[in-house]
Amino acid sequence: MPEPLLRAGLITSTSEVSFFLDGRYHLLLPQVDGGGSPGTVSGEIRANAIANSIIIHNHSGELARGSTIRLEPLDPRQQSFRLFGVPVGLDFHWEQRKNLRYRGLLSLEPGDRTTGEGGLQVVNELGLETYLESVVASEMSPHCPAALLEAHAIVSRSWLIAQVEGTRAPPLPPTGIATESDGTTRIIRWYDREDHGSFHVCADDHCQRYQGLPGSGAQAAESAVRTTRGTVLEYEGRVCDARFSKCCGGVTEIFSSAWGDQDLPYLRSFPDSPSGAAVVAHPLSGEQAARDFIRQDTPAWCNTRNRDLLERILPRIDHGTTNFYRWELFLPQDRLRSILDHKLGMDVGPVISLKALRRGPSSRIVELEIHGKRNRLVVGKELEIRRILSESHLYSSAFTIQPTPGSHGIPSGFKLRGAGWGHGVGLCQIGAAVMAWHSHGYRSILSHYYRGAVLRKRY
């Protein structure tokens, strides 16, 4: 099969965007006769969404308008465009806006009106291998050991092809809000790639980090993609829906704890520990087992506090985070009520208790009960729990809860002690990087995290 082409959503909703075209680009506009190219453009350009049209301007005035405007480089491998104000880490604690450079075709399109966003969206069209060169350097530092970059290239390629070809996990049932007979409100939601209807993949942590052309160390990322070109993980003849997260916290999680209620045989839960290392009892679905595990400093590939190593393997955007493996957070009562009111749109009243109703085998909470004086809620799955207990997102839902004494039976706050960063399913990026640091090759890394999967060259 040929290398797939894909559409990556860079900015999904805006009324105005600016970019710089490095070199000449064909200006393509949809027309009644099937399309046309009124000329070429270059340099700094601004685009606006007005009514049902997108209008592009430069310093001399209007260049073109249309329902969709596509800008195609004359030399796709050598030319690039710089997009200003790209959101990075949207809604997470490292959220920021950056000016990023991309290869490929730039498409300015109407925003997704089915979601109520409107405005315009910016989509990048390019070959999958070119896209992967950026993903590998965006997800991890290009200064990582080569084996980690090669493993990540295969994982990211597999995940994306599974989305494009439909070999991912089965379609998911609707998620949302329901009220039970006792008045408890159940809010069970999860978020996945199919949330994007008009492109294959977004550019942020919701899918995979795609933060433009790699800078220093670009050669290492390009080499990893070239070395593994076309290679994917497969299970029983189907491309693996190869999930990954930053740090599993010592035990990996199963698919159904984060997404739909089906599980995939190659995404298992197991201790992320070197062979023969002592670990706590697994699974960690029980409350006492979870408490013991999170309290202990158990051996694991991702259990490293070597700052020199972490700064070498992590991209610069992650350097400000120091407590991947174990973390603590105190939520004062007033702050918790304010966050819940903002995230849920309801005042639950003073929070009497937070209680884990169901945990996955890595200790991640899948359903959390929030008992307020005015409302009782059950919230899931793991990302929704992380979202509603923080102004951004908690590092993970693998945490224990300790109320602090207050007055009249109302705690003054809640202390959370947690493990890991992210959903914990599939490859643990820090664990895999440490494995590579200890001379494990990419095949060893992939067989550790995707048990039963095999490698196959597709193109």
Task: Convert the pLDDT of each residue in 196-207 to its tens digit.
Answer: 668 888 877 668
Q: Are 133 and 144 in the same domain?
A: no
The residue to which tokens 């995707």 are assigned: 450
In 3D space, the residue among 66, 83, 75, 77 whose CA is nearest the CA of residue 21 turns out to be 83
The residue to which tokens 């800008």 are assigned: 71
Residue finishing a domain among 90, 117, 137: 137
- Say if residues 200 and 160 touch (Cβ distance below 8 Å): yes
Q: Find how far residue 213's CA is from the centre of its chain.
A: 18
**11, β-bridge pairs:** 122
Q: What is the reported pLDDT for 311?
A: 83
- Say if residues 232 and 446 touch (Cβ distance below 8 Å): no
In 3D space, the residue among 428, 414, 425, 426 whose CA is nearest the CA of residue 324 turns out to be 428
Q: Are 158 and 130 in the same domain?
A: no
Q: Are 150 and 110 in the same domain?
A: no
pTM of the model: 0.89
| Structural domain of 70 | 5-137
Q: Are 192 and 158 in the same domain?
A: yes
Give the residue, 121 or 39, on which the prediction is more confident: 121
324: how many CB neighbours lie within 10 A of its CB?
26
Q: Are 116 and 156 in the same domain?
A: no
Q: What is the reported pLDDT for 34?
A: 42
Q: What is the reported pLDDT for 182?
A: 84
How far apart are the C-alpha atoms of 303 and 287, rounded to whole Å? 22
Q: Are 133 and 228 in the same domain?
A: no
318 token code pair = 């992650």
- List of E strands, 189-245: 201-202, 231-235, 238-239, 244-245
Q: Are 316 and 305 in the same domain?
A: yes
Q: Are 83 and 111 in the same domain?
A: yes
Q: What is the reported pLDDT for 333?
A: 98
Eight-class DSSP state of 76: T
440: how many CB neighbours lie within 10 A of its CB?
21
Round the CA-based radius of gyration of the chain to a whole number and report it: 23
Residue finishing a domain among 98, 119, 137: 137
How far apart are the C-alpha atoms of 130 and 229, rounded to whole Å? 11
Q: What is the reported pLDDT for 36?
A: 45
Q: Which of 46-55, 332-341, 415-424 has the lowest mean pLDDT?
A: 46-55
- List of E strands, 89-157: 96-102, 105-110, 120-127
245 token code pair = 């997260």
Q: How many domains does the chain have?
A: 2
Eight-class DSSP state of 271: B
Q: Are 378 and 235 in the same domain?
A: yes
H or E stretch covering 71: strand 69-73
The answer on pLDDT for 217 being more than 70 is: no
How far apart are the C-alpha atoms of 29 and 385, rounded to whole Å? 44
Q: What is the reported pLDDT for 280?
A: 66
343-382 per-position pLDDT tens digit: 998 899 999 999 999 999 999 999 999 999 999 999 999 9
- Say if residues 254 and 179 touch (Cβ distance below 8 Å): no
How far apart are the C-alpha atoms of 291 and 432, rounded to whole Å? 25
Q: Are 308 and 438 in the same domain?
A: yes
Give the total residue count for the chain: 459
- Say if residues 271 and 299 touch (Cβ distance below 8 Å): no
Strands 16-29 and 36-50, how do they pair? antiparallel
How far apart are the C-alpha atoms of 247 and 237, rounded to whole Å? 29
| DSSP state letters, 371-430 | EESS-EEEEESHHHHHHHTSSS--S-S-EEEEEE--BTTB-SEEEEEEE-BS--BSEEHH
Strands 53-58 and 201-202, how do they pair? unpaired
How far apart are the C-alpha atoms of 261 and 82, rounded to whole Å? 41
Residue finishing a domain among 105, 137, 169: 137
Q: Are 144 and 132 in the same domain?
A: no
**How does the average pLDDT of the chain come out, rounded?**
89
Q: Are 45 and 114 in the same domain?
A: yes
The answer on pLDDT for 114 being more than 80 is: no
